[in-house]
Structure 1
């Protein structure tokens, strides 16, 4: 154990919610070693320095003064090798950090963390209108010949009530009915119609829908805010919870503990803001960042509330039924991945397109498939890519970095003599990467970051006589 008089320092570059980061820091703690933890979430400006000085995009990255140890796996190897480990300890015991050692960023350069406190609620005038509608009696059950439509109102009743209660003309009343739909307070009962009609067409308030979405129920009284800021707030908040309740070895999560935390209650409040969020007018880049962040947050939310799936049938049900209401429409995990982010393509086990021709969610879907999303989505299994936060500004570069990092890891790609073994993700979504294995191998080569691994892959591909197969996917869950 090193005493407090050591001259050097250990620096660990990490991100929030990274199991390998937690594991590496735990190993250092067990050895009685103090370290400086530089979070790339708080200091994103350090990413470029780290990439230039380590030739790696994965975390953690660990330095003993200027000596670059590597990641979690490399740290374990150094600890096993007595001579190498003693050399590292001697370095920080006897030597102060030189000019070539990583410089700690000044606290004033940290990016302000986003939390529920950053979200301000401006009361929405239509939220007040909804409350008045409930009190006036136009929201009621409507009996049909063979059924009853609960908690609904007709367009005609709404218009007549507005004319009488607000003393407005019919044209203005119809415009207000249309605003209820456009702002996702209400929707047509039988169809996905987006036009309000002053007749016997039945409408229902979104909060009265019989939905199993995890954010269903009372809608937010706040005006529509920034979709991207909202998604980022939600994601950062739940990642903080994930990090706090991660076991010391980085392998298990105390989901029960998270469920009782006050921060989780804050997160649940934020999900209500998704119900009425305006995503229709977002750009491609904004949709990419928004739906990737929401997908990852929804997986964590579902694991906490419902528990993780443990077999094939449960996984199928999980990805098809776990959902949020977003902008007035429901989106399951499958809908987000295959409907929106893969430009309405069939997913694993799907026999038809996620969104039909009349589905209002179809206009939300990306116009073209983006294969790099596969390295940004975390489904909650051990073989999934690591959880990260994405922003619209520079999203393509961020996705490219995520892909490079995934391929740099053995979970994504392993090379051995004349064989290439890839994550099962490349088998499930092969059409996103080419028509055949040759196309896939070339896509891997073009996407892989420069380094020894890419050089090895180039050597394998030049030989022509190589095999390509897929690794087993570890669906193991990390709950306890």
Structure 2
């Protein structure tokens, strides 16, 4: 007979972000083991996020601890030998929380200062969308019940708040505030668009979706294309676009970043199955948050695969579509990737290939399929 949660002396700590399918699957597995989970959303806690990265050597989520024993991520948990997993379960049940157990958040928020109205509103909207995503994601993290999501009271609350975007003042936003605000709004708009317009299923539908799904922000209309290519990429042409999003007389040009920020490509979630977990970004520490997102993307073989035996690097199509943002040539692209990788055997292999002077670059097919539960 399994012990009750109240008789368990130790603690399982899971560092996660809201809406992350891998986090949800890990927590579901732990619950099936009869273990209470101390679930820590690290997004609002920049200092804690840095501490966890130092402790684990990883920037991905989830990161799982049984008392003070670091198990790793969801894949590590799922692949663990049954006898080793049972040993850890027994340890948590019988041994109290040690003094060197992983840290928990201090206080109710991050080391953030007061945000502007626009940033504050975007985060409220974002958290509502993440709540919807978490509530309607299957336990294995593979499917989303968009139909049930559309009927949630949280969705109605979100729709009411989204109307307030037309009142925000964009002109006074700093670079950091613009990044956080428009990344959050873009990701929320994708999900909102999926719920209201339907999920695009082919190239033509995707083109229409990204050019028609829009919000009225600060008195101007911004589509998904406008946000990504006009604002966040410093008014650069998007994929298959003939013209820049904003003309010289377009008032939205005043909102565009003066220079494109390549890191946004690892934060924007377009709704495809291969996208990274959805996160909320804040102006405070936005650059470190984006760098962590890039590191996590590059750690995954779907983003970057290094094959030393063939002298080949296989990359996500994102790097092909937006190569100009990463330097414009294969050499500059690979050096950018190397600079933004976390320390790992993959990074060493890439460094060795670059040093050899003989390296082949190819791009993997992009998985446009959705995670909709049909």
Which of the five TM-score ranges fits, normalised by the shorter chain? over 0.9
- In structure 2, the partner of 1:462 is 355
Alignment partner of 1:92: what SS? helix
Q: Decide whether aligned partners of structure 1 residues 278 and 111 sit closer, same or farther in structure 2, where only a CA change above 3 A counts.
A: same
Give the C-alpha shift of residue 466 in structure 1. Answer: 2.2
Give the C-alpha shift of residue 354 in structure 1. Answer: 0.8
- In structure 1, the partner of 2:79 is 77
Contact 1:2 1:93 in 2 (8 A): no
Residue by residue over 1:244-286, the C-alpha shift from the partner in whole angstroms, topping out at 9 and shown as x without a partner, is 1111221111212121222211111111111132102222221
Moved more, 361-370 or 30-39: 30-39
Give the C-alpha shift of residue 44 in structure 1. Answer: 4.6
Contact 1:296 1:377 in 2 (8 A): yes
- d(CA) in 2 for partners of 1:465 and 1:91? 50
- d(CA) in 2 for partners of 1:105 and 1:337? 33
- d(CA) in 2 for partners of 1:465 and 1:87? 47
Moved more, 459-468 or 333-342: 459-468
1:47 has 2:49 as partner: yes
- In structure 2, the partner of 1:199 is none
- d(CA) in 1 for partners of 2:299 and 2:75? 13
1:284 has 2:284 as partner: no
- d(CA) in 2 for partners of 1:93 and 1:233? 38
- In structure 1, the partner of 2:206 is 315
Q: Decide whether aligned partners of structure 1 residues 65 and 368 sit closer, same or farther in structure 2, where only a CA change above 3 A counts.
A: same
1:404 has 2:295 as partner: yes
Contact 2:232 2:257 in 1 (8 A): yes
Q: 1:428 aligns with which of 293, 303, 321?
A: 321
Q: Any stretches of 5+ residues in structure 1 without a counterpart?
A: 113-224
- In structure 2, the partner of 1:23 is 25
Contact 2:320 2:363 in 1 (8 A): yes
- d(CA) in 1 for partners of 2:78 and 2:286? 33
Q: Decide whether aligned partners of structure 1 residues 284 and 257 sit closer, same or farther in structure 2, where only a CA change above 3 A counts.
A: same
Give the C-alpha shift of residue 401 in structure 1. Answer: 1.6
- In structure 1, the partner of 2:60 is 58
Contact 2:43 2:281 in 1 (8 A): no
Give the C-alpha shift of residue 43 in structure 1. Answer: 4.6
- d(CA) in 1 for partners of 2:180 and 2:221? 18
- d(CA) in 1 for partners of 2:41 and 2:70? 17
What is the aligned length?
364
Give the C-alpha shift of residue 6 in structure 1. Answer: 4.0
Q: 2:109 aligns with which of 100, 108, 111?
A: 111
Which structure has the higher relative contact order (CA within 8 Å, separation 6+)?
Answer: 2
Give the C-alpha shift of residue 2 in structure 1. Answer: 4.8
Give the C-alpha shift of residue 61 in structure 1. Answer: 0.5
Q: 1:270 aligns with which of 161, 171, 176?
A: 161
Give the C-alpha shift of residue 42 in structure 1. Answer: 5.4
- In structure 1, the partner of 2:102 is 102
Q: Any stretches of 5+ residues in structure 2 without a counterpart?
A: 111-115
Instruction: Please say which structure displays the higher CA radius of gyration.
Output: 1
- In structure 2, the partner of 1:192 is none
Moved more, 84-93 or 419-428: 84-93
- d(CA) in 2 for partners of 1:105 and 1:330? 39
- d(CA) in 2 for partners of 1:315 and 1:361? 23
- d(CA) in 1 for partners of 2:292 and 2:333? 18
Contact 1:61 1:70 in 2 (8 A): yes
- In structure 2, the partner of 1:133 is none
- Provide the TM-score with structure 2 as the length reference: 0.92
